[in-house]
Amino acid sequence: MSQAGATGEAGSGLTAAWQPLAGLRIWLTMLTICIEERLVYRGDFILGTLMRFLPIVTQIFLWTAVFAATSRPDIAGYSRNDIVAYYLLTMVTRAFSSMPGLSSGIARSIRDGSVKKYLVQPVDYVSFLLAARVAHKLVYYLIAIFPFGLVFFLCRSYFPPLPDAATILAFLASLLMSFLLGFFMEAALGMLGFWFLEVSSLMFAYMLVQYLLSGHMFPLDMLAGIPTGIAGVSLAEVVRWLPFHYTAYFPAAVWLGKIHGPERTAALFAEAAWVIVMIVVCRLAWWRGTRRWSAFGG
């Protein structure tokens, strides 16, 4: 519930029109509905979550085979166990940062005009979406904790010993921020619908970039040897300057101790900066978008 409080505050802080108490009541109703929905299809859900680990299983076998064929003890600083742990941890980060249906939902509501009701009702659209998403995610974790727990228990031997408290705190902070970053990036993307009629291609491009550069496919440290054409700058460094790696790679790397010390602190601040930038971008897009939209008469 502490998580809920934190994000709930963030949501209501964004708008003056949203009265905290009424807002909380709406949010609680939303939460209850989410829980009921999930429970009706819980069989599907637990099975679905477990199946989501299957691609990782193939990835793990692939890297095991790679390690079998090469004489190196590690690849880009990752032992085989590290790689297994890395993939499992990205599942956790993706559970926080991925926002299925968010940008397409926003774009659709702009296209079919249903966004109109948020212009007349005393509810801020983005805050409403954020609250709904928080509710959804909370319920998701409530049930997903069982399949996740099972998989992590079975795979416990791949993990290094439990890191120190500072690392765990940094990990949690990076997870929470990855949720916010994922949310506001996707929301901003959806709002491109104010300017472009057909946004599915943009969304696809985003998805590709996100999939590749977030570290979902492989630990981004592996890009360290790939030159970019700029002298002395590797692809890994470029990727580290972009926001995408916070949504999968970064929390996992923090937990595994691949990033630590001052570097870690700096990266956390950079992540926070990205969150703020994305909130501002989102606000601006909403503000300019709705103005443009009402000027065209919807």
Partner 1 sequence: MSAAKDPVIRVAGLAKDYRVFDKPEGLLASIRGIFHRSSRVVEALRGVDLEVGRGEFVALLGPNGAGKTTFLKLLSGIITPSRGTAHVLGHVPWERADDFRRRFALVMGQRNQLWWDLPAAESFRLHQEIYRIDPARFARTRDELVDMLGVRKLILQPVRELSLGERMKLELVAALLHEPEVLFLDEPTIGLDVVAQHTIHEFLRHVQRERQVTVILTTHYMKDVAALCERVVVITHGDILYDGSLVEIVDRFTTHKIVTLDLDDAAAARHLERLGYPCEIRGPQAILRIDRARIADVLPEVLRGGGVRDVSVEDVPLEEIVAELFRSAPARPTAASPATAEATP
Partner 2 sequence: MSRYLSIFGTFARACLVRDMTFRANFVLECVTSLGWMAMNLAFYLLVFQFTPEIGAGTGWSKAPFFAFVATGMIINAIVQTLFMPSAEELTELVRTGGLDAVLVRPLDAQFLLSMHRVDFSSLANGLVGLGLLGWSLARLDQPPPPVAWAIYPVLILCGVAILYSLIIMLAAATILMGRNQSLYDFWFYITNFSRYPAEIYAGPWGGPLRAACTFVIPILLVVNVPARVIAQPLTGQSWWPVAGTIGAALASLVISRLVFQSALAKYRSASS
Question: Using CB distances below 5 to 8 A depending on partner kind, what does residue 230 bind out of partner 1, partner 2, none?
Answer: none
Scan residues 22-81 and list those touching partner 1 (CB under 8 A): 32, 35-36, 39-40, 42
In residues, how long is the chain?
298
Name the residue nearer to partner 2 (CB basis): 115 or 236: 236
Question: Using CB distances below 5 to 8 A depending on partner kind, what does residue 39 bind out of partner 2, partner 1, none?
Answer: partner 1
Which helix (H) or strand (E) is 20 found in, with range?
helix 20-40
Residue 54 binds to partner 2 (criterion: CB under 8 A): yes
Q: Report how far apart, in Å, the C-alpha atoms of 15 and of each of 18, 23, 283 are.
A: 6, 11, 10
* CB contact at 8 A, 228 and 143: no
Name the residue nearer to partner 2 (CB basis): 39 or 276: 39
Distance between CA 207 and CA 203 in Å, rounded?
A: 6
Name the one range near partner 2 by CB under 8 A: 3-11, 41-49, 82-90, 281-289: 41-49
Residue 145 binds to partner 1 (criterion: CB under 8 A): no
The phi and psi torsions of 227 (rounded to 5 degrees) equal -75, 155
Smallest separation, CB 253 to partner 2 (Å): 17
Smallest separation, CB 203 to partner 1 (Å): 23
Residue 294 binds to partner 2 (criterion: CB under 8 A): no
Q: Report how far apart, in Å, the C-alpha atoms of 87 and of each of 72, 75, 93, 214, 237 are.
A: 20, 14, 10, 12, 21
- Find the helix packing angle between 80-97 and 54-69, rounded to 10°: 150
Question: Using CB distances below 5 to 8 A depending on partner kind, what does residue 142 bind out of partner 2, partner 1, none?
Answer: none
Question: Using CB distances below 5 to 8 A depending on partner kind, what does residue 36 bind out of partner 1, partner 2, none?
Answer: partner 1
Amino acid identity of residue 202, one-letter, is L
Name the one range near partner 2 by CB under 8 A: 3-11, 18-26, 60-68, 267-275: 60-68
Scan residues 179-208 and list those touching partner 2 (CB under 8 A): 198, 200-201, 204-205, 208
Q: Report how far apart, in Å, the C-alpha atoms of 197 and of each of 32, 190, 263, 283 are.
A: 35, 11, 42, 20
Which residues contact partner 1 (rule: CB under 8 A)? 32, 35-36, 39-40, 42
